[in-house]
Chains A and B, each alone.
Chain A
Amino acid sequence: NAGVTQTPKFQVLKTGQSMTLQCAQDMNHNSMYWYRQDPGMGLRLIYYSASEGTTDKGEVPNGYNVSRLNKREFSLRLESAAPSQTSVYFCASSEPPRGDKFFGPGTRLTVL
């Protein structure tokens, strides 16, 4: 099992460009999450999907959209990137109601 995979690993964008971060899990988990990690801020939840076909906003959803394409895949889209979105993005999955999450390797995004 690969666990949780993310692509790309690194990305540099110019302000105003768009891109989609991809995430897939092979553990048959119902729930998937997108977090961003910034120095001194810990992990903050952007969006989550409790099950296939549902998505909900987390703590910091502004500037992002998500798609739960199927049970395996959960993508995060930046429509018009801003420097404030420079961060490391982690995808995670779990099987509620247990809280332990499995995290992907992360995507390091820089917006110039």
Chain B
Amino acid sequence: GAGVSQSPRYKVAKRGQDVALRCDPISGHVSLFWYQQALGQGPEFLTYFQNEAQLDKSGLPSDRFFAERPEGSVSTLKIQRTQQEDSAVYLCASSLQKGAYSNQPQHFGDGTRLSIL
């Protein structure tokens, strides 16, 4: 498809389990972003990749959160030992970045809704 694709759309896990969320960016998009959106809130930044390099991970809330993009395309966000406060929608976005200071808008997928029981 032409847009950002995320899977699964819904994930239910028991507290303490590990989960992995996948993002397929728009083809050719260099930059990839992960955001966390709690109910009734705006998205909050988690981490940013340019190609395979993770250039900003300042938003990751704890060391239980880990993201990778090994080949500069598909990305996976992993949450270990999940807790109830991890319940949220996890959004992925990609952008076509042409230079260090050029600014292309971020385009979002429909997110993965994670529920921790």
User: Are A and B genuine complex partners?
Assistant: no
